[in-house]
């Protein structure tokens, strides 16, 4: 059985931290705000299965195993294949997943591999749509794919990063502290004692990685199956997007931890209902999205009418537009 895991952050518009609301790396760019970390497990169809709330400063790589372990124990599952992006990739996570008998597909950081593995990757000479396997130790394997579209994007990002660095070099705003491996700062070098310049050889060497994407797995799935299954991660990203926008998981106005937990639980249940609505609309081949169906439903009202002569009261649903009548017909009300 395939399961997909990812995390997001939910910030609070407060100044002070407490036991659970803490400042940390914010996926929403709100680093100054205390936050919580929310881990979510979904099925291959995007149905939410389980979630866990963590302190806002907790490293996302340490959130995955508790959710998966609890879910497996609760439903007495034997075999799980976990799919997660490279943010969840760490040596400890990989070791723990293997030790507990889990199979997994993780986004790989191929540039961080050892020299031998990197040489094998760069020697593959893949063309658009092609993929290959690089064997690793302990039964692990790297699936490497190549895409012209990804290569074009990678080139664009490198050129843009280089242009920004060149502007900063010319302005003299760079210092020794700027020499690090964060982002495109890796292209910087120190000439002599004080002069900072751009190491064009590193920039050109990076071109060899354009278009390459890696997937780390211990499954027996084919390379094509690994790539296809990993591509379904967009469904969990969609879950976070809908929760934050359509279902209004934020802002959170609660202070007590039990109330924060209740707020997240209600949102989790709401997303389950949203997914069921999505399924039924697809089954009924309705020519409308969940958002459209919800907006139409908001405009439908019922009225109670009392007959003054008899005293009898009855209720009638007002269907005034074609859209309202269509939705009512779809769901038999």
CA–CA separation, 230 and 252 (whole Å): 32
Q: Are 264 and 51 in contact (CB under 8 A)?
A: yes
Query: Among candidates 80, 74, 87, 1, which has minimal Cα distance to 39?
Result: 87
Residue 203 pLDDT grade (very low, low, confident, very high; cuts 50, 70, 90)? confident
Q: Which residue is it, tokens 């210092």? A: 175
CB 143 within 8 A of CB 131: yes
Structural domain spans, the chain: 2-85+233-277, 150-208, 290-330
pLDDT tens, 117-140? 999 999 999 999 999 999 998 789
Output the DSSP codes for 40-59: EEE-TT--EEEEEEEETTS-
Q: Higher pLDDT residue, 82 or 332?
A: 82
Q: 248: how many CB neighbours lie within 10 A of its CB?
A: 11
Distance of CA 260 to the CA centre of its chain: 22
Contact in structure between 289 and 304 (CB atoms under 8 Å) = no
pLDDT at 192 over 70: no
Pairing of strands 103-108, 195-198: unpaired
Contact 120, 134 (CB under 8 A): yes
| Confidence label for 179 from pLDDT (cuts 50, 70 and 90) | low
Distance of CA 212 to the CA centre of its chain: 20
- 257: alpha, beta or left? (left if phi > 0; alpha if psi -120 to 50): alpha
The answer to whether 144 touches 120, Cβ cutoff 8 Å, is no
Element (H, E) at 265: helix 257-283
Report whether 286 contacts 328 (CB < 8 A): no
> Rounded to whole angstroms, how far apart are CA atoms 293 and 276?
13
> pLDDT-based confidence at 210, cuts 50/70/90?
very high
Per-residue pLDDT at 193: 56
Q: Is the pLDDT of residue 288 over 90?
A: yes
How large is the average pLDDT for residues 318-324? 94
Nearest to 140 by CA among 184, 103, 180: 103
Tokens, residue 88: 């969840």
**Angle at CA of residue 309, ends 303 and 315, nearest 5°:** 20
Alpha carbons within 13 angstroms on the beta-carbon side of residue 62 total: 7
Q: Which two tokens stand for residue 140?
A: 């692990």
Rg (CA), the chain: 26
Per cent of the chain over pLDDT 70 is 95
Spatial separation of the C-alpha atoms in residues 107 and 6, rounded to whole Å: 12
Q: What is the dihedral of CA 221, 224, 227, 231, to 10 degrees?
A: -110
Write the DSSP assignment of 183-225 as a string of letters.
GGGGGEEEETTTEEEE-HHHHHHHGGGTTEEEEEE-S---HHH
327: tokens are: 């939705």
Choose the weakest-confidence range: 104-113, 169-178, 296-305: 169-178
């Amino acid at each position: 059985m395939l399961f997909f895991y990812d995390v997001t952050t939910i910030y609070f518009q407060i100044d002070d931290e407490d036991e659970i609301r803490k400042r940390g790396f914010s996926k929403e760019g709100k680093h100054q705000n205390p936050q919580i970390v929310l881990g979510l497990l979904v099925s291959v169809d995007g149905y939410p299965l389980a979630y866990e709330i963590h302190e806002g400063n907790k490293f996302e790589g340490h959130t995955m195993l508790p959710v998966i372990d609890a879910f497996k124990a609760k439903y007495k599952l034997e075999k799980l294949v976990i799919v997660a992006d490279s943010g969840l990739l760490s040596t400890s996570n990989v070791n723990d997943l293997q030790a507990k008998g889990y199979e997994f597909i993780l986004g790989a950081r191929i540039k961080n591999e050892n020299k031998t593995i990197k040489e094998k990757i760069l020697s593959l000479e893949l063309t658009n749509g092609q993929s290959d396997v690089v064997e690793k130790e302990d039964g692990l394997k790297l699936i490497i794919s190549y895409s012209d579209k990804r290569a074009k994007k990678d080139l664009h990002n490198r050129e843009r990063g280089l242009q920004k660095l060149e502007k900063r070099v010319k302005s003299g705003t760079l210092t020794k502290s700027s020499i690090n491996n964060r982002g495109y700062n890796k292209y910087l070098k120190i000439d002599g004692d004080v002069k900072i310049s751009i190491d064009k050889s590193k920039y050109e060497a990076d071109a060899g990685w354009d278009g390459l994407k890696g997937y780390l797995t211990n499954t027996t799935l084919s390379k094509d199956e690994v790539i296809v299954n990993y591509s379904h991660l967009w469904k969990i990203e969609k879950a976070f997007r809908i929760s934050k926008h359509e279902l209004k998981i934020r802002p959170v106005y609660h202070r007590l931890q039990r109330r924060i937990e209740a707020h997240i639980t209600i949102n989790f249940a709401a997303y389950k209902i949203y997914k069921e609505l999505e399924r039924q609309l697809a089954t009924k081949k309705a020519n409308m999205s969940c958002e459209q169906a919800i907006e139409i439903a908001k405009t439908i009202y019922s009225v109670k009418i009392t007959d003054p002569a008899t005293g009898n009261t009855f209720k009638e649903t007002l269907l005034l537009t074609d859209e309202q009548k269509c939705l009512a017909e779809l769901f038999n009300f």
